[in-house]
Amino acid sequence: MAEKFVSQRNLKFLLYEVFDTPALTQYPYYADHSRESFDMALETAMKIGKTLMKPKLSEMDKNPPEFVNGRVKVHPLVRTLMKECGEGGWIAAPFPFDLGGQQLPLMISGVCRFIFSAANYSASVYPFLTTGAAHLILAFGSKEAIETYVQRMFSGEWQGTMALTEPQAGSSLADLTTTAEPTDQGYYYNIRGQKIFISAGDHDGVDNVIHLMLARIKGAPAGVKGISLVVPKNRIESGKIVPNDVNTAGIYHKLGYRGAPITQLSMGENNDCRGYLVGEPHRGLIYMLQMMNEARIDVGLGAAAIASAAYYASLEYARERPQGRRLTSKDPTQPQIPIVQHADIRRMLLFQRAVIEGSLALILQCAWYADLSRALSGEEKEKNELLLDLLTPVAKSYPSEMGIPSTSAGLQILGGYGYCDEFPLEQYYRDARIHPIHEGTTGIQGITLLGRNVTMKNGQAFKLFHAEVQAAIKKAEEVPELKPYAQELQEALEKLTKVTLHLTGMAKSKGPEVFLADSTLYLEFFGIVSVAWQWLLQALSIQQALSRNPSGAEADFYQGKFYTFRYFFRYELPKIEGLAKRLRDADGLTVEMKDSFFAD
């Protein structure tokens, strides 16, 4: 198994040369940090990834969680990792000092999550699901809820989850049937219902599991006016821990991502499941959107991380595997060459790297907006929040969708060995497939982007995005080596703008179904342009570095980055032409297609 799973050099390039993360320390919230403390966090994350998580990657896949006597048993690493992440402050890293956090920028905590996810994705979800659940309680919960749950979650003693999906509802949250009935006690609700596909919903790697759950107040009208609840597996009653009538009905047996259990939960079988209100009644979905949007960016991050691990495994193999000779060599007595010297192998490696490093840059751009929105106020805060909101479905979906062919390319490089479990590529390929489904399918992200985000506030978010891309283009036009690429991105941005205007006009003339029928294709188009923007930003830093005439490994790093940038513009960006053509067509083909036409 390949030792390398991420490039520390590329992480530092993005953090310090493209984004200037240390500049965040000018703001009071981050003022206690420095480049040195950021580097220390990265080094520690790498150590945990290499020594604790990566060695158990295959073992956790081949020995998945078991459902025994109503309880889920997981790999012993989980308890060790939760303790390590609690004691090391990883679960609480972004939160304020007075709550036990480190006030670490999301730029840094995100890169550390990327390292953990690349080392062992299944293991990484346990602590960071807990981070999201704790954040929801901190943002909207009562003082009592914060005091009861958050510190134990931060310590890694208690797991946090997001419990939304139900058998009959799936992503259609308006159709939830789990009920919350007010009681004469006032401070809690009686909960009845079922939840499915709950990641880490029950396991013996922690002492308790705290579900952030969406339910409907009994008797409430149909629709999305549910409530957010804290529903612990075990509750505290008169200072004692007692069962809370949350029962695990079973676990799902999955294609990949096998090291973390996905559970089915049943609440209130004995009419004694208590849920505690978070915030105000009927605003639960609004609260949950905070956790969902954070999770969506984390899903994109995890997808890019798995693709990163697959890339370095396939790169190592390509450098070591001799096969064939150059097409110009006719002498069969000459030694075979490593397959990395074949152009088609290099094409696949470039494709992998272009997807991974472009995706990670886009995710860090979102983290940058999130960090600034936390540090700033007024119009600047709103600007960064709008940009983050706009790009969230893109940052979730582009890495998730493109991580699959990227990982597949790595498997292809290994040939027959890639299909066998003696090598890790087949596991990475299985693990990667969950991400277009997790936290809202790609179709839902497309509807969100086109149906809501680009039109919200009279298109203000899209205008801000346009200005951000335009600013990068303007800078690149001043660099001779980048001017042709800047012009190509300018043309792509104009195409995206025209298609967006065309589609929003179609909403008025053809109605919402035709308008949103191809929103997934629009999302793909938007994603390609967004990643091209990120590659152009990277190219500006690459050219600045090359102007200093680096040598040795540094020169190779920047030249390799520049070739990967060129690859994206020459091979990936042209794909928007077909997408633009399709999106300009208003024939409504998929809307008009009838069920009966899908013949047996």
Helix (H) or strand (E) holding 592: helix 589-592
- Which amino acid is residue 128, in one-letter code? F
Do 270 and 276 touch, CB atoms closer than 8 A?
no
Give the bridge partners for 250, in sequence order: 264
171 token code pair:
């992503």
Q: Say if strands 240-243 and 246-251 run parallel, antiparallel, or are unpaired.
A: unpaired
Q: How far apart are CA 29 and CA 374, in angstroms?
A: 8
Three-class SS state of 181: strand
Interatomic CA distance for residues 21 and 12, integer angstroms? 10
Do residues 289 and 135 make contact, with C-beta atoms less than 8 angstroms apart?
A: no
CB atoms within 10 A of CB 521: 17
Reduced to 3 states (helix: H, G, I; strand: E, B; else coil), residue 556 is helix
Q: Which of 401, 439, 468, 524 is catalytic?
A: 439
Rounded Cα distance between 548 and 540, Å, is 13
| Residue 439 designated active-site | yes
If DSSP codes are grouped into helix, strand and coil, which group holds residue 400? helix
Give the sign of the dihedral formed by CA 345, CA 351, CA 356, CA 361.
positive
Among candidate residues 140, 139, 133, the one with its CA nearest the CA of residue 160 = 133
d(CA 404, CA 327): 30
Contact between residue 596 and residue 383 where contact means Cβ atoms under 8 Å apart: no
| Residue 328 amino acid letter | T
In the 3-class helix/strand/coil scheme, how is 233-246 assigned residue by residue? CEEEECCEEEECCE
The region, left, alpha or beta by phi > 0 then psi within -120 to 50, assigned to residue 280 is beta
Residue 127 to residues 146, 233, 381, Cα–Cα distance (Å): 18, 17, 29
592: exposed, middle or buried (Cβ count in 10 Å: 0-12, 13-18, 19+): exposed
Active site residues: 439
